Amino acid sequence: QVQLVESGGGLVQAGGSLRLSCAASGRTFSNYAMGWFRQAPGKEREFVTGINWNGAVTYYVGSVKGRFTISRDNAENTVYLQMNSLTPYDTAVYYCAAERRIAYTIGTTRSQYDYWGQGTQVTVSS
């Protein structure tokens, strides 16, 4: 089992920034690719970004590319999501997820991820 706990969400004005953290425990963190998903009210949970086991490979969906940055610290068992230039469209509950994968690829669908955090709310006001 892997336990994931997100933090760092909150209310921010459009154009502002937030940094989300996801602390992992329970298994060897570096055995997992990590992803961030988000779910807006009335919408499906969607993949936002992911990072492979050693941080060498990252992937972003087009709507956040250039604004969001994912990173990880395997010594601290933590993955981060730096979000800049936020817009109201970024308002959602953000979830981190762990995928048992030691490779230079990243899963981009919900079904590929094995463990999930409880989510943290991000609200961007206009």
Q: List the one residue out of 87, 89, 92 whose CA is nearest residue 40.
A: 92
pLDDT in tens, 15-48: 999 999 999 998 899 999 999 999 999 999 999 9
pLDDT the model gives residue 118: 97
Q: Where does the pLDDT of residue 14 fall: very low under 50, low under 70, confident under 90, or very high at 90 and above?
A: very high
What is the arithmetic mean of pLDDT over 115-124?
98
Residue 115 DSSP SS3:
strand
pLDDT on residue 103: 87
